[in-house]
Each structure stands twice: as C-alpha cells, then as structure tokens.
Amino acid sequence: MPGRATIEDFLAQRELAFVGVSRDPKAFGNVVYRAMRDAGHRLHPVHPTAEVLEGDACVPSLADVPRTVGGVVVLVPADAAVDVVRDALDAGVPRVWLHRGAGPGAVSDEAVRLCAARGVPVVDGACPLMFLDPVRGVHRLHRALSRRRFAA
C-alpha cells in the first residue's frame, strides 16, 4: 500500500506518461487524463495506433516517451498492466501509478513485484482523482474513507 509521501511525490512530477487514454472521450481513463492535465501536468498519452487523443500527440510506446517524464499513470486491466510496467521500467520511467477504482483496476501482484525489484516507487491501488485538488464528487468520499489507508 502506498504511503502519502509516495503519492505526493508522484503528483509533484509535472511531466508524466499516461497509458489508458482512449478514443472514447467518455472513457474513465480520459476523465482522469483531462483532470490531471487541468491540474497542470504535461501528459504524454501512449497509444499504439492513435496519433492524437484528447488534443495531444500520442507516442506509440513507452520507449518513445521523453526521458524527462517523472512517471507513468497506468489505467489498463491488471492482466495488461504487467507488460506496461515492464515496458516502463525498461524505458527508465522512475515512478508508476497503477490505477484502482472500483474493481482491481491496473493493480496486479506481478506488476507491483516488478517495481519493487527495480526499486521504482509504485502507487498501487488508488485513483489520482482522490488527490488532485480540488477533490470533487465521489472522489471526495473515497479520499475521506481511505485516509488511514494512505497515511504517511
């Protein structure tokens, strides 16, 4: 379980890769993407076939993200997250956020173990919307309910 310091360190990174933005603007990954961009993050959407998503130029793989990214946000199913994490680590991405909302999200034991084995901090099991100020809607309730879970 990530500590609050790990979460704050991740969100302090202004430039991030993002895996899980979709061609469907109503997809939850897109909601998170827009919120993070609106909060001031410079995001690099990673998509194997799209050239532009949410008005931003895509890169086809994590190997193609700029070396200046401070982390990657992963919003894919857990069984796909392992490959994403492996690619991120191979590309030298220094932090990983495995999204979890309702259900397992992107969190898998293997993905977390890969991060630990390489000494890469991982937020394993939270939604960034719980921590981007101002926290809105149901995310405010989730944040309040999880205060102990994400304590220092």
SS3 content of the chain, % helix, strand, coil (to 5): 40, 20, 45
Cβ–Cβ < 8 Å for 65, 57: no
Tokens representing 87 are: 């690619």
Q: What is the pLDDT along the chain (152 residues), one digit of tens a residue?
A: 678 899 999 999 999 999 999 999 999 999 999 999 999 999 999 999 999 999 999 999 999 999 999 999 999 999 999 999 999 999 999 999 999 876 678 999 999 999 999 999 999 988 898 888 765 654 444 454 455 555 54
Q: How far apart are CA 97 and CA 2, in angstroms?
A: 10
Q: Please name the residues in contact with 66: beta carbons below 8 A apart, sequence gap of 6 or more.
A: 15, 44
Residue-level pLDDT at 139: 45
Report the candidate in 132, 114, 137, 133 with the shortest Cα–Cα distance to residue 124.
Answer: 114
Does residue 32 contact residue 43 with C-beta atoms inside 8 Å?
no
Q: What is the pLDDT of residue 9?
A: 96
Report d(CA 70, CA 11) in Å as an integer: 9
Map out the domains of the chain as residue ranges: 4-145
Distance, in Å, from the CA atom of 131 to the CA atom of 150, rounded to the nearest integer, reads 11
Which CATH number is 4-145's, of 3.40.50.1980, 3.40.50.1820, 3.40.50.460, 3.40.50.720? 3.40.50.720
